[in-house]
Amino acid sequence: MDFDDTPEEASFRAHVRSVLEEHASELLHVAPGEPVDARSREAELRDTQRVLAEAGLVGVTWPREYGGQGGTLVQQAIVGQELGRARVPTLINHIGIGMCGPTVIAHGSDDQRSRYLARLLRADDVWCQLFSEPGSGSDLAALRTSAVRDGEDWVVNGQKVWTTLAHVADFGILLTRTDPSRPKHAGLTMFVVDMHAPGVTVRPLRQMSGGADFNEVFFDDVRIPDSERLGEPGEGWRVALTTLMNERVAIGGAGSDIGPSPESLTAHARDRLPALSPEQQVLARQAVGRALVASLATRYTGYRRFTTLSQGGVPGPEASAGKLGGTAAARLVTDAGVRLLGDEAVLGATADGDDTWQRAQAYVPGIAIAGGTDQVLRNILGERVLGLPPEPRTDKSAPFSSGGRR
């Protein structure tokens, strides 16, 4: 693909820059590498997304009938690049925009689309994705959170974990088990859940980076109206696949960087190498070289996928390669960044208080789990892209309630 803007793309980029300059005083800006805590800066992040949405820079690829701009993926990428250039942080509702909203568009009712989508784009409502559970690990279909029909409602009990932004979310998409007598992939149903409903409890999970981006969420007799169901009862796995495909494109599947960019590593190396001993410089240069090769290879491979999507393709299992390669590259980049610190690498921050690279190295392992572990992604690529024989699964057709036994 041609990495230069077409005349139309250059015009769109100029428009985005103009909009960002016009609204600069209304947007949150951060320094390079500065962490943005959604817990303490929620109001600023919501205001920033609202301003951007009203200016037409949120939901660029969404259909106009649902509040989007009907634009292209390239235009969406240009908006992302220009937001980064202007030091505007990641949108607080990025999960809602990239995963929950597309799922509601694909599987929701007209009433749900009318009530939720426009508010989601403006961050009037922040959304989260409630998939992972403590007892099922990376085997999503082994989830045990139950939903039992009671009149016009469903009563939900169970626990989710590693839920990003649950602490500020107003709504979430929730995958539940509604028929344990069917095989584990068949007895699932998806709902929209009000995160402020009675019986919903959110607890933060403190990470080794010091942050608390993830949460565990408990559901105790939470009542969800049947009108909040996404898709048919028992068809939740099909709905969830829509979410997962969009998630893997959003997390590195279209050439976006996971963790610090290769450019930030290059700048860091330029500043730090002279301070290292000759022996340390040799090791650091090797680490930087490996990281840059891996990172740029992942980026450009993602751009090829991005081109396919821009030409009308749909997200598929091959997007898993971008997430798998992206997290591997992120580990190399952050490791090289820490090595460049020399003796200060053993400390939580440098002498002047900068902890950018130590914090990134502590944060990346969590991203490696989000959206599917490396092992899950390799299985997807092996079976669904390369056509290799699947792993033996004794529980694939057995009723879930039998524990995988017939």
List the alpha helices (DSSP H) in 4-109: 7-22, 42-54, 73-85, 94-95, 101-107
Structure tokens belonging to residue 308: 């396919």
Kind plus residue range of the DSSP H or E element containing 328: helix 319-339
The C-alpha atoms of residue 173 and residue 93 are separated, in whole angstroms, by: 13
Look-up: residue for tokens 């403006």?
122
Look-up: residue for tokens 């829509």?
242
Strands 214-225, 171-177: parallel, antiparallel or unpaired by DSSP?
Answer: unpaired
Contact residues for 26 (Cβ-Cβ < 8 A; gap 6+): 47, 48, 51
The C-alpha atoms of residue 168 and residue 93 are separated, in whole angstroms, by: 10
Strands 171-177, 127-130: parallel, antiparallel or unpaired by DSSP?
Answer: parallel
The Cβ-side half-sphere exposure at 5, using a 13 Å CA radius, reads 13
Look-up: residue for tokens 């597309």?
102
The C-alpha atoms of residue 44 and residue 288 are separated, in whole angstroms, by: 36
Candidates 159, 135, 127; CA nearest to 146 is 159
247 tagged catalytic: yes
Catalytic residue chosen out of the listed positions 247, 263, 279, 318 = 247
Report yes or no: 175 and 190 within 8 Å, Cβ to Cβ: yes
**Which residues lie across from 148 on neighbouring strands?**
155
The C-alpha atoms of residue 101 and residue 245 are separated, in whole angstroms, by: 13
Structure tokens belonging to residue 387: 């056509």
The catalytic site residues sit at 247
